[in-house]
Amino acid sequence: MFLARVIGKVISTQKCEKLVGGKLLVIKSLDENKNIIENSALVALDSVGAGIGDIVLVDWGSTIYEDKKIAADMAIVGIVDDIQLSDN
């Protein structure tokens, strides 16, 4: 899993059956200080009600999630309330 910020959403009408009804959010991965690390725009299926601006926990593999709501290789599996580093 990794930390990311939700920066947008993807609109796609022509898509794979498994993705229909899912919310597709554009995310950028973060370091532990919540700084965006520039790279390609990743897209994750939301499973926890995340919205734009949220800091989220993203999971790559979804093979062990049995609920059919997560039908993709990248899913938002948690909304981050706080990151407590060792210095704090």
Give Cα 38 to chain centroid, integer Å: 16
Binding mask 4-33 toward a copy of itself (x if CB under 8 A, else -) reads --xxxxxxxxxxxxxx----x-x-xxxxx-
Residue 77 lies near a copy of itself (rule: CB under 8 A): yes
In DSSP terms, which residues pair with 26 in a beta bridge? 8, 43
- Could you tell me the smallest distance in angstroms from the CB atom of residue 83 to a copy of itself? 6
Q: How far apart are CA 51 and CA 44, in angstroms?
A: 12
Give the dihedral of Cα atoms 14, 69, 71, 56; nearest 10 deg: 100
* Binding residues vs a copy of itself (CB under 8 A): 1-3, 6-19, 24, 26, 28-32, 37-45, 47-49, 52-53, 57, 59-65, 67, 70-75, 77-86, 88
